[in-house]
Amino acid sequence: MSLAATQIEKILAEVKEAAQGGIIFKVRQRAEDSLVLTIRTKSRPLRLLISASRNFPRIHFLSENPPADQTSPLLQSLRKRIVGGRLAQVRQQPGERIVTLEIHRREGDEEQIHTVVSELTGTHSNVVLADSESKVVACIRNFRGRRRTVAPGETYVPPPPVRAAPSGEEKEDELDAAAARLGSYNRAAEELYDRLEAQHAVQSRKSAFARSLRSQKTKAQRLVTNLQAKRETAKKAEQIRHQGELLKAHMGEMHKGMTEITIPDYAATDGCPARIELNPRLSPAENLERYFRRYRKAKTSAVGIDEQIAAAEEHIHQLEVIARKLAELTSLEELLQLEEQAAEEGLAPLRRERPARPRRRDPMAPTRFSSTDGMDLLVGRNKLQNDHLVLHLARGNDMWLHAQAVQGSHVVIRVPRGKSVPKETLLDAANLALHFSKGRKSGSGHVAYAQCKHVRKPKGSPPGYFTYSNNKSLHITLDPVRLERIFHTKR
């Protein structure tokens, strides 16, 4: 559910009154598509949620500080460019679900202006950071269409106006009623969307559980069908054995290449002969063995087959009972109880929510990325990491890169044995080497590269200092789109 333009207008009226003129104190990322801006005002700090969720795009204040431990290129850009800045203006495009926060921040003698544009337009929602020249610095989602492109380095163009924004009359009435009760449209929006997100979480989990039950039921039904077919084959076991005995008695009349044989059947009550199919590619002895082998297989498969069918049908019945209970429940507590019951009955694995263990990052560990071709890119972010990377982690066949004539990070491409470095991977690594160097401000420069076996550290040299030979170089112009894609692979 998206907010209607009229609803956004009511929420923003309160945001302007409370936060306009405040200082952006902190930016955090609550989810992959949601940001929280902490704004310091004269009275108190305020937390502004901007969500580009495809299901629940919105903007409003938060009453509590939510957990926010994710990161992204957009978050890094926001922290670098708007933290410490003043929220100079909050505006909405008339009749549209587009909100712009204009932020002024002084850097030296100059005042830099950046805008955070929230496109709260349903499945195509986005949050875009643009500079004073309307160039996109970063965004939650890159978008390329016929009318516009939203990507780092591109000029920001807002989405085309819609003919009629969704009215959301029922939700608008609900929002108005909640605002009257709570005294704030922001608090009303927070309450409404907390409930909607909780319902959505339950429904998503219910849907996943239902899919699991349907999948198990389909497998059980397929098993019953196969077992019934085996049972029908097993009923013919004596007939197959009898045909084998007849062939055994008439071996002299058979020869390779025959497709069938007609021989007297001593057991036939009507006196009619038996017509038995043969495999023309097999010899008489092989055809005889084929029939007795089919008899043994049919006889063996008949053992316990009725019990197996009964067990599979009972399993289907239990799955249907659980599915009916699942369709009726409405709360997360009921859902968890049903999942536990199903797990105890062996109908579903028990889902246990384990708290994530905080990982202790090794201070010497390099930052890791993945290239376009799936190769690992290791980046040392300081002199000690550079030493550790080249001296202890890099292998002779790996590729080493460094921006020429400037201080910067060492980058190593992990090259599997017997492989060479693809061109796109080399360009990815070269962009990283220039980006994490003092040549970044110029936007272009030369990057040297060589196999790690040709990189040497002179005895007694300071941390981060190396010499190299048998090297080549590339002239690189930083590619923001390429860098953003690489940053999304950070691990």
Q: Which domains does the chain have, with CATH numbers?
A: 5-167 (2.30.310.10), 232-300 (no CATH), 367-487 (no CATH)
Q: Whose CA is closest to 396, among 448, 475, 447, 470?
A: 470
Q: Which amino acid is at 29?
A: Q
For residue 371, is pLDDT > 80?
yes
The CB density around residue 197, as the number of other CB atoms within 10 Å, is: 14
Q: Determine the pLDDT at residue 222.
A: 93
Q: Determine the pLDDT at residue 460.
A: 78
CA 99 to chain centre: 28
Is residue 120 within 8 A of residue 58, CB to CB? The reply is yes
pLDDT band for position 413 (50/70/90)? very high
For residue 235, is pLDDT > 90?
no
pLDDT band for position 167 (50/70/90)? very low
pLDDT band for position 361 (50/70/90)? low
290 vs 332 pLDDT, higher one: 290
Q: Determine the pLDDT at residue 360.
A: 54
Q: Determine the pLDDT at residue 171.
A: 54
At a CB cut-off of 8 Å and minimum separation 6, what does 128 contact? 116, 117, 119, 136, 138, 139, 140, 150, 156
The SS3 assignment for 317 reads helix
For residue 234, is pLDDT > 80?
no
In DSSP terms, 477 is beta-bridged to 444
The CB density around residue 385, as the number of other CB atoms within 10 Å, is: 23
For residue 461, is pLDDT > 90?
no
For residue 212, is pLDDT > 50?
yes
C-alpha–C-alpha distance, residues 72 and 152, integer Å: 14
Q: Determine the pLDDT at residue 165.
A: 44
C-alpha–C-alpha distance, residues 444 and 192, integer Å: 49
Q: Determine the pLDDT at residue 352.
A: 53
For residue 197, is pLDDT > 60?
yes
Out of 119-133, 203-217, 319-333, 334-348, least confident range:
334-348
Structure tokens at 438: 């003092």
Q: Whose CA is closest to 53, among 73, 29, 71, 69?
A: 29
For residue 69, is pLDDT > 80?
no
Q: How many Cα atoms are found within 13 Å in the side-chain-facing hemisphere of 423?
A: 1
Q: How many residues does the chain have?
A: 491
Degrees to nearest 5, angle at CA 125 with 123 and 129: 160
For residue 53, is pLDDT > 70?
yes
C-alpha–C-alpha distance, residues 240 and 277, integer Å: 11
Pseudo-torsion of CA 55, 59, 64, 65, nearest 10°?
Answer: 90
Is residue 63 within 8 A of residue 12, CB to CB? The reply is no
- Residue found by looking up tokens 């937390």 in the block: 47
Q: Determine the pLDDT at residue 172.
A: 62
Q: Determine the pLDDT at residue 232.
A: 82
Q: Average pLDDT, whole number, for the chain?
A: 88
Q: Report the run of H or E that residue 133 belongs to, with start and end.
A: none
pLDDT band for position 268 (50/70/90)? confident
Q: pLDDT exceeding 70 applies to what percent of the chain?
A: 95
Q: Determine the pLDDT at residue 175.
A: 85
